[in-house]
Structure 1
Protein backbone atom coordinates (compact mmCIF):
# COMPACT_ATOMS: atom_id res chain seq x y z
CA UNK A 1 0.00 0.00 0.00
CA UNK A 2 1.41 3.37 -0.99
CA UNK A 3 1.74 6.50 1.15
CA UNK A 4 -1.24 8.84 1.18
CA UNK A 5 -1.32 11.00 -1.94
CA UNK A 6 -0.25 14.66 -1.79
CA UNK A 7 -3.09 17.06 -1.02
CA UNK A 8 -4.98 14.51 1.09
CA UNK A 9 -2.88 14.68 4.25
CA UNK A 10 -5.87 15.75 6.35
CA UNK A 11 -7.82 12.60 5.45
CA UNK A 12 -6.12 9.60 7.03
CA UNK A 13 -8.87 7.02 7.49
CA UNK A 14 -12.23 5.97 6.09
CA UNK A 15 -14.59 3.95 8.28
CA UNK A 16 -17.32 2.01 6.49
CA UNK A 17 -20.62 0.67 7.72
CA UNK A 18 -21.48 -2.69 6.15
CA UNK A 19 -25.15 -3.56 5.57
CA UNK A 20 -26.75 -1.22 3.04
CA UNK A 21 -23.58 0.88 2.75
CA UNK A 22 -20.95 -1.45 1.31
CA UNK A 23 -23.02 -4.50 0.47
CA UNK A 24 -26.64 -5.19 -0.49
CA UNK A 25 -27.51 -7.24 2.58
CA UNK A 26 -30.28 -5.22 4.21
CA UNK A 27 -32.84 -7.12 2.14
CA UNK A 28 -31.73 -10.34 3.84
CA UNK A 29 -32.39 -8.91 7.29
CA UNK A 30 -35.74 -7.67 6.04
CA UNK A 31 -36.67 -11.02 4.54
CA UNK A 32 -35.83 -12.79 7.79
CA UNK A 33 -37.94 -10.37 9.82
CA UNK A 34 -40.89 -10.63 7.44
CA UNK A 35 -40.68 -14.42 7.72
CA UNK A 36 -40.59 -14.19 11.52
CA UNK A 37 -43.63 -11.90 11.51
CA UNK A 38 -45.52 -14.40 9.35
CA UNK A 39 -44.64 -17.24 11.71
CA UNK A 40 -46.04 -15.13 14.56
CA UNK A 41 -49.31 -14.71 12.69
CA UNK A 42 -48.89 -11.18 11.33
CA UNK A 43 -47.18 -9.00 8.75
CA UNK A 44 -44.51 -6.45 9.53
CA UNK A 45 -45.24 -3.06 7.97
CA UNK A 46 -42.74 -1.43 5.63
CA UNK A 47 -42.44 1.55 7.99
CA UNK A 48 -41.56 -0.73 10.90
CA UNK A 49 -39.01 -2.53 8.77
CA UNK A 50 -37.40 0.78 7.79
CA UNK A 51 -37.21 1.75 11.47
CA UNK A 52 -35.07 -1.31 12.19
CA UNK A 53 -32.31 -0.37 9.73
CA UNK A 54 -28.98 0.05 11.50
CA UNK A 55 -30.53 -0.87 14.85
CA UNK A 56 -29.64 -3.53 17.40
CA UNK A 57 -31.42 -6.88 17.29
CA UNK A 58 -33.12 -6.15 20.61
CA UNK A 59 -34.57 -2.86 19.35
CA UNK A 60 -35.47 -4.43 16.01
CA UNK A 61 -37.41 -7.20 17.75
CA UNK A 62 -39.16 -4.65 19.97
CA UNK A 63 -40.20 -2.69 16.86
CA UNK A 64 -41.44 -5.85 15.13
CA UNK A 65 -43.42 -7.03 18.16
CA UNK A 66 -44.99 -3.60 18.69
CA UNK A 67 -45.89 -3.44 15.00
CA UNK A 68 -47.68 -6.78 15.29
CA UNK A 69 -49.33 -5.83 18.59
CA UNK A 70 -47.59 -8.65 20.41
CA UNK A 71 -46.24 -8.83 23.94
CA UNK A 72 -43.30 -11.22 24.15
CA UNK A 73 -41.33 -12.35 27.18
CA UNK A 74 -37.61 -11.66 27.41
CA UNK A 75 -36.88 -15.28 26.55
CA UNK A 76 -39.20 -15.14 23.53
CA UNK A 77 -37.59 -11.90 22.35
CA UNK A 78 -34.15 -13.49 22.52
CA UNK A 79 -35.40 -16.59 20.71
CA UNK A 80 -36.85 -14.41 17.94
CA UNK A 81 -33.57 -12.49 17.64
CA UNK A 82 -31.57 -15.71 17.40
CA UNK A 83 -33.91 -17.03 14.72
CA UNK A 84 -33.56 -13.85 12.63
CA UNK A 85 -29.76 -14.04 12.87
CA UNK A 86 -29.82 -17.74 11.94
CA UNK A 87 -32.09 -17.13 8.94
CA UNK A 88 -30.07 -14.11 7.82
CA UNK A 89 -26.89 -16.20 7.92
CA UNK A 90 -28.57 -18.73 5.62
CA UNK A 91 -29.54 -15.97 3.19
CA UNK A 92 -26.08 -14.38 3.27
CA UNK A 93 -24.60 -17.72 2.24
CA UNK A 94 -26.62 -17.61 -1.00
CA UNK A 95 -24.66 -14.64 -2.32
CA UNK A 96 -23.70 -11.03 -1.59
CA UNK A 97 -23.58 -8.05 -3.94
CA UNK A 98 -21.76 -4.73 -3.60
CA UNK A 99 -23.75 -1.53 -3.29
CA UNK A 100 -23.24 0.58 -6.45
CA UNK A 101 -19.89 2.36 -6.31
CA UNK A 102 -18.81 0.74 -3.04
CA UNK A 103 -16.23 -1.63 -4.48
CA UNK A 104 -14.64 1.11 -6.58
CA UNK A 105 -14.46 3.54 -3.65
CA UNK A 106 -13.00 0.98 -1.25
CA UNK A 107 -10.39 0.01 -3.85
CA UNK A 108 -9.46 3.66 -4.44
CA UNK A 109 -9.19 4.36 -0.72
CA UNK A 110 -6.84 1.42 -0.23
CA UNK A 111 -4.73 2.31 -3.26
CA UNK A 112 -4.26 5.81 -1.83
CA UNK A 113 -2.74 4.39 1.35
CA UNK A 114 -5.51 5.49 3.70
CA UNK A 115 -6.39 3.49 6.79
CA UNK A 116 -9.69 1.61 6.66
CA UNK A 117 -12.14 0.06 9.10
CA UNK A 118 -15.39 -1.85 8.86
CA UNK A 119 -17.72 -0.88 11.71
CA UNK A 120 -20.97 -2.82 11.84
CA UNK A 121 -23.75 -3.63 14.29
CA UNK A 122 -23.89 -7.12 12.76
CA UNK A 123 -22.48 -9.88 15.01
CA UNK A 124 -19.03 -11.24 14.13
CA UNK A 125 -20.24 -14.66 12.93
CA UNK A 126 -22.50 -13.05 10.32
CA UNK A 127 -20.06 -10.27 9.41
CA UNK A 128 -17.40 -12.91 8.71
CA UNK A 129 -19.63 -14.40 5.99
CA UNK A 130 -19.68 -11.02 4.26
CA UNK A 131 -15.98 -10.41 4.88
CA UNK A 132 -15.00 -13.74 3.34
CA UNK A 133 -16.92 -12.80 0.17
CA UNK A 134 -15.32 -9.35 0.04
CA UNK A 135 -11.82 -10.77 0.53
CA UNK A 136 -12.36 -13.39 -2.16
CA UNK A 137 -13.62 -10.77 -4.61
CA UNK A 138 -10.80 -8.30 -3.98
CA UNK A 139 -8.07 -10.92 -3.50
CA UNK A 140 -7.03 -9.28 -0.23
CA UNK A 141 -8.39 -7.98 3.06
CA UNK A 142 -9.29 -4.33 2.44
CA UNK A 143 -9.71 -3.46 6.14
CA UNK A 144 -7.06 -2.67 8.72
CA UNK A 145 -9.64 -3.05 11.48
CA UNK A 146 -13.07 -4.66 11.77
CA UNK A 147 -15.43 -3.92 14.67
CA UNK A 148 -18.64 -5.94 15.03
CA UNK A 149 -21.74 -5.43 17.14
CA UNK A 150 -20.87 -8.11 19.67
CA UNK A 151 -17.37 -6.69 20.26
CA UNK A 152 -18.23 -3.27 21.70
CA UNK A 153 -19.46 -1.98 25.08
CA UNK A 154 -22.36 -0.18 23.37
CA UNK A 155 -23.78 -0.28 19.85
CA UNK A 156 -24.71 2.45 17.41
CA UNK A 157 -26.04 5.16 17.87
CA UNK A 158 -23.53 5.18 20.72
CA UNK A 159 -20.13 6.41 19.45
CA UNK A 160 -18.31 3.49 21.10
CA UNK A 161 -17.94 1.35 17.93
CA UNK A 162 -16.36 4.18 15.94
CA UNK A 163 -14.19 5.31 18.82
CA UNK A 164 -12.96 1.74 19.22
CA UNK A 165 -12.11 1.54 15.52
CA UNK A 166 -10.32 4.90 15.54
CA UNK A 167 -8.28 3.87 18.56
CA UNK A 168 -7.28 0.61 16.86
CA UNK A 169 -6.33 2.53 13.70
CA UNK A 170 -4.34 5.07 15.68
CA UNK A 171 -6.17 7.94 13.99
CA UNK A 172 -8.07 10.83 15.58
CA UNK A 173 -11.65 11.67 14.57
CA UNK A 174 -10.55 14.93 12.94
CA UNK A 175 -8.82 12.87 10.22
CA UNK A 176 -11.66 10.39 9.64
CA UNK A 177 -14.66 10.13 7.35
CA UNK A 178 -17.42 7.70 8.33
CA UNK A 179 -19.73 6.33 5.63
CA UNK A 180 -23.20 5.30 6.79
CA UNK A 181 -26.72 4.67 5.50
CA UNK A 182 -28.78 4.73 8.73
CA UNK A 183 -29.84 7.23 11.37
CA UNK A 184 -28.15 5.30 14.16
CA UNK A 185 -24.93 4.94 12.20
CA UNK A 186 -24.80 8.62 11.29
CA UNK A 187 -25.45 9.56 14.93
CA UNK A 188 -22.65 7.25 16.08
CA UNK A 189 -20.16 8.67 13.59
CA UNK A 190 -20.97 12.29 14.43
CA UNK A 191 -20.88 11.61 18.18
CA UNK A 192 -17.45 10.04 17.73
CA UNK A 193 -16.27 13.33 16.22
CA UNK A 194 -15.87 12.25 12.60
CA UNK A 195 -17.19 13.84 9.44
CA UNK A 196 -19.93 11.61 8.01
CA UNK A 197 -20.99 10.83 4.46
CA UNK A 198 -24.62 9.68 4.56
CA UNK A 199 -25.93 7.49 1.73
CA UNK A 200 -29.52 6.67 2.79
CA UNK A 201 -31.24 3.57 1.47
CA UNK A 202 -34.29 2.52 3.49
CA UNK A 203 -34.20 5.44 5.94
CA UNK A 204 -34.32 9.16 5.22
CA UNK A 205 -31.48 11.08 6.85
CA UNK A 206 -31.98 14.57 8.24
CA UNK A 207 -29.32 17.23 7.60
CA UNK A 208 -26.93 17.78 10.50
CA UNK A 209 -23.64 19.61 11.16
CA UNK A 210 -20.77 17.40 10.01
CA UNK A 211 -23.01 15.31 7.73
CA UNK A 212 -22.80 15.35 3.94
CA UNK A 213 -25.66 13.62 2.13
CA UNK A 214 -25.43 11.82 -1.22
CA UNK A 215 -27.86 9.49 -3.00
CA UNK A 216 -25.31 6.67 -3.13
CA UNK A 217 -21.64 5.85 -3.55
CA UNK A 218 -21.77 5.71 -7.34
CA UNK A 219 -19.22 8.20 -8.67
CA UNK A 220 -17.88 9.02 -5.18
CA UNK A 221 -14.09 9.15 -4.99
CA UNK A 222 -11.28 10.39 -2.78
CA UNK A 223 -11.78 14.03 -3.72
CA UNK A 224 -15.37 13.76 -2.57
CA UNK A 225 -14.31 12.25 0.76
CA UNK A 226 -11.76 15.03 1.22
CA UNK A 227 -14.61 17.46 0.59
CA UNK A 228 -16.74 15.75 3.24
CA UNK A 229 -13.94 16.22 5.75
CA UNK A 230 -13.35 19.85 4.71
CA UNK A 231 -17.06 20.66 4.99
CA UNK A 232 -17.27 19.60 8.63
CA UNK A 233 -17.92 22.51 10.96
CA UNK A 234 -15.05 23.14 13.41
CA UNK A 235 -15.88 22.51 17.03
CA UNK A 236 -17.79 25.44 18.54
CA UNK A 237 -18.72 26.95 15.16
CA UNK A 238 -22.47 27.00 14.44
CA UNK A 239 -23.66 25.17 11.29
Structure 2
Protein backbone atom coordinates (compact mmCIF):
# COMPACT_ATOMS: atom_id res chain seq x y z
CA UNK A 1 0.00 0.00 0.00
CA UNK A 2 1.54 3.27 -1.11
CA UNK A 3 -1.21 5.86 -0.57
CA UNK A 4 -4.50 6.39 1.26
CA UNK A 5 -6.80 8.74 -0.63
CA UNK A 6 -9.65 10.41 1.25
CA UNK A 7 -12.25 11.12 -1.40
CA UNK A 8 -14.22 14.07 -0.03
CA UNK A 9 -14.46 16.45 2.89
CA UNK A 10 -17.35 14.26 4.04
CA UNK A 11 -14.93 11.41 4.68
CA UNK A 12 -13.11 13.61 7.19
CA UNK A 13 -16.11 15.05 9.06
CA UNK A 14 -19.92 14.88 8.96
CA UNK A 15 -20.60 17.95 6.84
CA UNK A 16 -23.78 16.99 5.00
CA UNK A 17 -26.36 18.61 7.26
CA UNK A 18 -24.25 21.78 7.38
CA UNK A 19 -24.26 21.72 3.59
CA UNK A 20 -28.05 21.46 3.56
CA UNK A 21 -28.39 24.36 5.99
CA UNK A 22 -26.08 26.41 3.78
CA UNK A 23 -28.25 25.72 0.72
CA UNK A 24 -31.31 26.95 2.61
CA UNK A 25 -29.44 30.06 3.78
CA UNK A 26 -28.47 30.80 0.17
CA UNK A 27 -32.04 30.39 -1.02
CA UNK A 28 -33.23 32.95 1.52
CA UNK A 29 -30.43 35.32 0.54
CA UNK A 30 -31.59 35.18 -3.08
CA UNK A 31 -35.28 35.65 -2.24
CA UNK A 32 -36.24 32.10 -3.14
CA UNK A 33 -39.08 30.45 -1.21
CA UNK A 34 -37.34 27.10 -1.32
CA UNK A 35 -36.49 24.98 1.70
CA UNK A 36 -34.84 21.60 1.36
CA UNK A 37 -35.90 19.23 4.10
CA UNK A 38 -33.59 16.38 5.00
CA UNK A 39 -35.69 13.86 3.05
CA UNK A 40 -35.47 16.05 -0.08
CA UNK A 41 -31.73 16.41 0.30
CA UNK A 42 -31.10 12.69 0.80
CA UNK A 43 -32.56 12.02 -2.64
CA UNK A 44 -30.47 14.78 -4.22
CA UNK A 45 -27.23 13.42 -2.76
CA UNK A 46 -27.34 10.44 -5.09
CA UNK A 47 -25.76 12.73 -7.68
CA UNK A 48 -22.76 14.99 -7.06
CA UNK A 49 -22.56 18.71 -7.73
CA UNK A 50 -24.24 21.43 -5.70
CA UNK A 51 -24.55 23.84 -8.60
CA UNK A 52 -26.29 21.18 -10.69
CA UNK A 53 -28.67 20.38 -7.83
CA UNK A 54 -29.73 24.02 -7.74
CA UNK A 55 -30.20 24.20 -11.51
CA UNK A 56 -32.12 20.92 -11.58
CA UNK A 57 -34.40 21.97 -8.75
CA UNK A 58 -35.09 25.33 -10.41
CA UNK A 59 -36.10 23.53 -13.58
CA UNK A 60 -38.47 21.29 -11.62
CA UNK A 61 -40.03 24.36 -9.99
CA UNK A 62 -40.28 26.26 -13.27
CA UNK A 63 -38.13 29.04 -11.82
CA UNK A 64 -35.30 30.87 -13.52
CA UNK A 65 -32.29 31.38 -11.27
CA UNK A 66 -28.61 32.15 -11.60
CA UNK A 67 -27.44 28.75 -10.32
CA UNK A 68 -23.81 29.85 -10.24
CA UNK A 69 -24.61 32.88 -8.06
CA UNK A 70 -26.80 30.88 -5.69
CA UNK A 71 -24.09 28.23 -5.39
CA UNK A 72 -21.47 30.88 -4.59
CA UNK A 73 -23.73 32.14 -1.80
CA UNK A 74 -24.18 28.58 -0.59
CA UNK A 75 -20.41 28.08 -0.41
CA UNK A 76 -19.97 31.30 1.54
CA UNK A 77 -22.73 30.27 3.95
CA UNK A 78 -21.17 26.82 4.35
CA UNK A 79 -17.80 28.28 5.24
CA UNK A 80 -19.37 30.59 7.85
CA UNK A 81 -21.37 27.74 9.36
CA UNK A 82 -18.29 25.54 9.53
CA UNK A 83 -16.41 28.16 11.52
CA UNK A 84 -18.86 27.82 14.44
CA UNK A 85 -19.82 24.16 13.97
CA UNK A 86 -17.46 22.55 16.43
CA UNK A 87 -17.04 19.64 14.01
CA UNK A 88 -14.64 16.85 14.92
CA UNK A 89 -13.09 14.16 12.70
CA UNK A 90 -15.14 11.07 11.91
CA UNK A 91 -14.28 7.80 13.69
CA UNK A 92 -10.87 6.44 12.80
CA UNK A 93 -9.80 9.36 10.59
CA UNK A 94 -7.08 10.71 12.89
CA UNK A 95 -5.72 7.22 13.64
CA UNK A 96 -5.66 6.33 9.94
CA UNK A 97 -3.76 9.46 8.97
CA UNK A 98 -1.29 8.99 11.83
CA UNK A 99 -0.71 5.31 10.98
CA UNK A 100 -0.16 6.13 7.31
CA UNK A 101 2.33 8.88 8.10
CA UNK A 102 4.19 6.64 10.54
CA UNK A 103 4.41 3.87 7.93
CA UNK A 104 5.62 6.16 5.17
CA UNK A 105 2.36 5.79 3.25
CA UNK A 106 1.26 8.89 1.36
CA UNK A 107 -2.06 10.55 2.19
CA UNK A 108 -4.26 12.42 -0.27
CA UNK A 109 -7.51 14.37 -0.23
CA UNK A 110 -9.18 13.90 -3.60
CA UNK A 111 -12.25 16.13 -3.86
CA UNK A 112 -14.18 18.09 -6.44
CA UNK A 113 -15.21 20.80 -4.01
CA UNK A 114 -13.61 24.24 -3.80
CA UNK A 115 -10.28 25.03 -2.18
CA UNK A 116 -12.10 27.51 0.07
CA UNK A 117 -14.40 24.78 1.40
CA UNK A 118 -11.42 22.52 2.04
CA UNK A 119 -9.52 25.26 3.86
CA UNK A 120 -12.58 26.13 5.97
CA UNK A 121 -13.00 22.52 7.08
CA UNK A 122 -9.33 22.00 7.87
CA UNK A 123 -9.36 25.21 9.91
CA UNK A 124 -12.09 23.64 12.07
CA UNK A 125 -10.50 20.19 12.31
CA UNK A 126 -7.01 21.42 13.14
CA UNK A 127 -4.79 20.46 14.81
CA UNK A 128 -6.27 16.93 14.62
CA UNK A 129 -6.34 17.06 10.81
CA UNK A 130 -4.10 19.59 9.05
CA UNK A 131 -3.27 20.56 5.49
CA UNK A 132 0.29 19.37 6.18
CA UNK A 133 -1.04 15.82 6.71
CA UNK A 134 -1.77 15.49 2.99
CA UNK A 135 0.77 14.90 0.23
CA UNK A 136 -1.78 16.06 -2.35
CA UNK A 137 -5.05 17.97 -2.08
CA UNK A 138 -7.23 18.02 -5.19
CA UNK A 139 -10.00 20.60 -5.56
CA UNK A 140 -12.45 21.53 -8.30
CA UNK A 141 -10.07 23.99 -9.96
CA UNK A 142 -7.69 21.15 -10.86
CA UNK A 143 -10.02 18.70 -12.57
CA UNK A 144 -11.82 18.65 -15.90
CA UNK A 145 -14.99 16.95 -14.67
CA UNK A 146 -16.63 16.24 -11.29
CA UNK A 147 -17.18 12.79 -9.87
CA UNK A 148 -18.32 10.19 -10.90
CA UNK A 149 -15.71 11.01 -13.56
CA UNK A 150 -12.28 9.59 -12.70
CA UNK A 151 -10.47 12.91 -13.36
CA UNK A 152 -9.82 13.80 -9.71
CA UNK A 153 -8.22 10.43 -9.02
CA UNK A 154 -6.18 10.49 -12.21
CA UNK A 155 -4.85 13.90 -11.21
CA UNK A 156 -3.99 12.72 -7.68
CA UNK A 157 -2.21 9.59 -8.91
CA UNK A 158 -0.16 11.64 -11.36
CA UNK A 159 0.76 14.15 -8.66
CA UNK A 160 1.81 11.39 -6.25
CA UNK A 161 3.53 9.26 -8.87
CA UNK A 162 1.66 6.17 -7.68
CA UNK A 163 -0.16 3.34 -9.43
CA UNK A 164 -3.90 3.03 -8.89
CA UNK A 165 -3.75 -0.57 -7.69
CA UNK A 166 -1.21 0.30 -5.00
CA UNK A 167 -3.54 2.81 -3.35
CA UNK A 168 -6.83 2.69 -1.47
CA UNK A 169 -9.60 5.28 -1.68
CA UNK A 170 -12.08 6.18 1.04
CA UNK A 171 -15.42 7.54 -0.20
CA UNK A 172 -18.66 8.49 1.52
CA UNK A 173 -21.06 8.49 -1.45
CA UNK A 174 -21.95 6.47 -4.52
CA UNK A 175 -20.52 8.84 -7.13
CA UNK A 176 -17.22 8.92 -5.27
CA UNK A 177 -16.97 5.14 -5.21
CA UNK A 178 -17.75 5.07 -8.94
CA UNK A 179 -15.00 7.63 -9.61
CA UNK A 180 -12.41 5.62 -7.67
CA UNK A 181 -13.40 2.43 -9.47
CA UNK A 182 -13.20 4.19 -12.85
CA UNK A 183 -9.62 5.17 -12.01
CA UNK A 184 -8.77 1.62 -10.94
CA UNK A 185 -8.33 2.52 -7.26
CA UNK A 186 -9.70 -0.02 -4.74
CA UNK A 187 -12.23 1.75 -2.55
CA UNK A 188 -13.58 1.46 0.98
CA UNK A 189 -17.03 3.02 1.37
CA UNK A 190 -17.36 5.08 4.55
CA UNK A 191 -20.92 6.45 4.22
CA UNK A 192 -22.11 9.36 6.30
CA UNK A 193 -25.48 9.75 7.97
CA UNK A 194 -27.02 11.13 4.77
CA UNK A 195 -25.44 8.70 2.29
CA UNK A 196 -25.90 5.34 4.01
CA UNK A 197 -28.48 4.21 1.44
CA UNK A 198 -26.29 4.86 -1.62
CA UNK A 199 -25.21 1.96 -3.80
CA UNK A 200 -21.68 0.81 -2.98
CA UNK A 201 -21.38 -2.27 -5.18
CA UNK A 202 -18.03 -1.10 -6.56
CA UNK A 203 -16.49 -0.80 -3.08
CA UNK A 204 -14.38 -3.59 -1.62
CA UNK A 205 -16.08 -3.05 1.76
CA UNK A 206 -18.48 -0.73 3.59
CA UNK A 207 -17.49 0.46 7.07
CA UNK A 208 -18.86 2.74 9.77
CA UNK A 209 -15.42 3.66 11.11
CA UNK A 210 -11.95 3.59 9.63
CA UNK A 211 -9.53 0.92 10.84
CA UNK A 212 -5.83 1.47 10.03
CA UNK A 213 -5.21 -2.29 10.29
CA UNK A 214 -7.69 -2.89 7.46
CA UNK A 215 -6.60 0.04 5.31
CA UNK A 216 -2.87 -0.54 5.80
CA UNK A 217 -2.45 -4.32 5.93
CA UNK A 218 0.93 -5.51 7.08
CA UNK A 219 1.93 -2.06 8.34
TM-score (norm 2): 0.86
Q: 1:80 aligns with which of 70, 81, 85?
A: 70
Q: 2:32 aligns with which of 40, 49, 63?
A: 40
Greater C-alpha Rg: 1
Say yes or no: does 1:28 pair with 2:18: yes
Q: Residue in 2 aligned with 1:16?
A: 6
Task: Give the deviation of 1:12 after TM superposition.
Answer: 0.7
Distance 1:215 1:80, change over 3 A: same
Distance in 1 between residues matched to 2:26 and 2:67, nearest whole Å:
11
Structure 2 portions without partners, runs of 5+: none
CA RMSD between the two structures = 2.2
| CA shift digits 1:99-124 (9 cap, x unpaired) | 12211211112111101110112201
Distance in 2 between residues matched to 1:170 and 1:87, nearest whole Å:
36
TM-score (norm 1): 0.79
Say yes or no: does 1:137 pair with 2:147: no
Distance 1:110 1:52, change over 3 A: farther
Q: 1:98 aligns with which of 89, 92, 105?
A: 89
Q: Residue in 2 aligned with 1:211?
A: 204
SS in 1 for 2:109: strand
2:112 touches 2:140 (CA, 8 Å); kept in 1?
yes
Segments of 4+ moved more than 6 angstroms: none
Deviates more, 1:28-37 or 1:102-111: 28-37
Distance in 2 between residues matched to 1:80 and 1:212, nearest whole Å:
36
| CA shift digits 1:195-237 (9 cap, x unpaired) | 00001121223242453111232xx12x31256xxxxxxxxxx
> Which protein, 1 or 2, shows the higher relative CO under an 8 Å CA cutoff with sep ≥ 6?
2
1:45-124 aligned within 5 A: 45-53=37-45, 55-65=48-58, 69-73=61-65, 76-94=66-84, 95-124=86-115
Give aligned pairs, total: 211
Deviates more, 1:160-169 or 1:95-104: 95-104
Distance in 2 between residues matched to 1:161 and 1:52, nearest whole Å:
21
